[in-house]
């Protein structure tokens, strides 16, 4: 039995997590889902962000974390989100933030004339260092002489392992191109390290085409000719930004999935989107990003057949099923609720089995 920690979190997190878990349970696999109420509500009630020892329990006893979203307007500094989500990414050493941006249906891209075959991007976002390391501080705060600093951490070990993961993924999936996104023309030290290490790693994978680009040029080119890219590897902050862009090219945050992975260890799967306070509680949240994150989790847990089946069901759902309001501009109306989409997806899955 593999134990899965479910952390629905805030806003639409619980609305989509409920459906995601129902879908995963429908496979009848030896998975046990255990629910944890960490998030803004709990934090505001009793001050708990994560209880002592929780990380150790995850490490020793759980196979994965299935995560909704965190973020609540009542916690403006977002300290609980850092203490929950970023803490798990860092302390569990989940160094691969895997974010596929695949076009499930031609109609979902805002790019004129582009089709499914043109948009098959997979991002490898470094997930344990960079500007997210939390190193820095503020001095003379609130005065005219205030100084604020955040330091970008780039380690050879950290850069090498994410580049290696990106090349290996490309090789295993029969892809041919890996692109590095950096800002080595300005950030000479840290991003100079990325360039050198990327070149070293690419030399170990001579069958794959490697190209390094400046992130600003890449952001432009992803819109101009996305078909030129397959696997993109980048640092923590650029990966955060480029993957929202990638989501927008392929149907939006409502269907963008992600994995926070350390191969062979407990890993965390979550939609790319946040808690969406603007639509929370209204039945408008698209549950497909959560469902697709579940498919990534099934694959990590050693159930690739079930993962592929779930992806096919989502594809069919998008093609001809009910849709939440976020997809109506692409696919047409009427709009359905989160629950309706979830129910249909479950039915579609059972017809595929």
Judged by the rule CB under 6 A, the positions of this chain that interact with ligand IPM are 81, 85-86, 240, 272, 274
List the one residue from 78, 155, 312, 340 that touches ligand NAD (CB under 6 A).
78
Tokens of 329: 């501009």
Q: How far is CA 345 from CA 5, 85, 278, 285, in A?
A: 23, 28, 25, 15
Stretch that binds ligand NAD, among 41-49, 114-122, 272-280, 309-317 (CB under 6 A): 272-280
The encoded tokens of residue 98 equal 């895997």
Give the C-alpha distances (Å, rounded to integers) separating 216 from 8, 237, 239: 34, 13, 12
Which stretches within the chain are classed as H helix?
Answer: 13-25, 40-46, 54-61, 79-81, 87-91, 156-172, 190-203, 215-224, 236-249, 288-300, 304-320, 328-331, 338-352
- The catalytic residue among 93, 106, 118, 244 is 244
Residue 240 in the binding site for ligand NAD (CB under 6 A): no
Let me know: does 242 contact 222? Beta carbons within 8 Å: yes
Active site residue 95: no
> Which CB atom, from 103 or from 180, has the smaller least distance to ligand NAD?
103
Give the residue nearest to Mn ion (CB).
240
Stretch that binds Mn ion, among 34-42, 119-127, 134-142, 235-243 (CB under 5 A): 235-243
Q: Which does 345 bind (CB under 5 to 8 A by kind): ligand IPM, Mn ion, ligand NAD, none?
A: none
Does 85 help bind ligand NAD (rule: CB under 6 A)? yes
Active site residue 216: yes
Residue 353 DSSP SS3: coil
Our CB check for Mn ion shows the closer of 76 and 334 to be 76
* By CB under 6 A, residue 101 contacts ligand NAD: no
Measured CA distances, 335 to 18, 53, 107, 208, 340 (Å)? 20, 44, 16, 43, 10
| Binding window for ligand NAD (CB under 6 A); candidates: 67-75, 107-115, 124-132, 146-154 | 67-75
Question: What is the DSSP code string of 229-258?
Answer: -SEEEE-HHHHHHHHHHHHHHTT-GGG-EE
Q: Does 276 bind ligand NAD (CB under 6 A)?
A: yes
Residue 229 is a catalytic residue: no
Choice between 267 and 324, CB closer to ligand NAD: 324
Q: Which of 93, 183, 214, 221 is catalytic?
A: 183
Instruction: Report how many residues bind Mn ion under the rule CB under 5 A.
Output: 1
The verdict on 240 binding Mn ion (CB under 5 A) reads: yes
Q: Determine the Cα angle at 300 with ends 313 and 173, to 5°.
A: 75
**Minimum distance, C-beta of residue 272 to ligand IPM, in the bound complex (Å):** 6
> Is 254 one of the binding residues for ligand NAD (CB under 6 A)?
yes
Residue 86 contact, options ligand NAD, Mn ion, ligand IPM, none, Cβ 5-8 Å cut-off depending on partner type: ligand IPM
What are 31's two structure tokens? 């998975």
- Number of CB atoms found within 10 A of residue 189's CB: 9
User: How far is C-alpha 255 from the chain's CA centre?
Assistant: 11
Q: How many CA atoms lie within 13 A of 257 on its CB side?
A: 28
Question: If binding is defined by CB under 5 A, does position 270 make contact with Mn ion?
Answer: no
340 binds ligand NAD (CB under 6 A): no
| C-alpha to C-alpha distance for 338 and 283, rounded to whole angstroms | 5
CA atoms within 13 A of residue 329's CA, in its CB half-sphere: 7
- Asked if 261 is part of the footprint of ligand NAD (rule: CB under 6 A), the reply reads no
Binding site for Mn ion (CB under 5 A): 240
Q: Which chain residues interact with ligand NAD by CB under 6 A?
A: 12, 69-71, 78, 81, 85, 253-254, 270, 273-279, 285-286, 289, 324, 326
Active site residues: 132, 183, 216, 240, 244
């Amino acid at each position: 039995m593999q134990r899965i920690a479910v952390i629905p979190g805030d806003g639409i997190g619980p609305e989509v997590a409920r459906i995601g878990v129902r879908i995963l349970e429908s496979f009848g696999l030896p998975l046990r889902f255990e629910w944890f109420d960490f998030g803004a509500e709990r934090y505001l009630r009793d001050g708990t962000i994560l209880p002592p020892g929780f990380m150790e329990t995850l490490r020793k006893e759980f196979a994965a974390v299935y995560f909704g979203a965190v973020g609540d307007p009542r916690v403006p500094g977002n300290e609980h989100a850092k203490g929950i989500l970023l803490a798990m990414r860092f302390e569990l050493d989940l160094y691969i933030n895997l974010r596929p941006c695949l076009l499930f249906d031609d109609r979902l891209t805002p790019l004129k004339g582009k089709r499914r075959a043109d948009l098959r991007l997979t991002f490898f976002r470094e997930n344990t260092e960079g500007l997210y390391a939390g190193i820095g501080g503020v001095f003379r705060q609130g005065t005219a002489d205030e100084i604020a600093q955040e330091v970008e951490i780039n380690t050879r070990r950290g850069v090498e392992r994410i580049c290696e993961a990106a090349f290996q993924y490309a090789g295993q999936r029969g892809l041919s191109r890996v692109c590095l996104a950096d800002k080595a023309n300005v950030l000479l030290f840290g991003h100079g390290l990325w360039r050198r290490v990327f070149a070293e790693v690419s030399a170990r994978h001579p069958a794959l085409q490697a190209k390094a680009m400046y992130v600003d040029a890449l952001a432009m080119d992803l819109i101009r000719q996305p078909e030129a890219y397959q696997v993109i590897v980048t640092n923590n902050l650029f990966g955060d930004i480029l993957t929202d862009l990638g989501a927008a090219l392929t149907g939006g945050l409502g269907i963008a999935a992600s994995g926070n992975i350390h191969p062979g260890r407990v890993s965390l799967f979550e939609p790319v989107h946040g808690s969406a306070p603007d639509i929370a509680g209204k039945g408008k949240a698209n549950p497909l990003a959560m469902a697709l994150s579940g498919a990534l989790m099934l694959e990590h847990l050693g159930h690739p057949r079930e993962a592929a089946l779930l992806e096919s069901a989502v594809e069919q759902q998008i093609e001809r099923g009910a849709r939440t309001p976020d997809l109506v501009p692409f696919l047409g109306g009427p709009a359905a609720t989160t629950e309706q989409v979830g129910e249909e997806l479950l039915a579609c899955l059972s017809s595929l089995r």
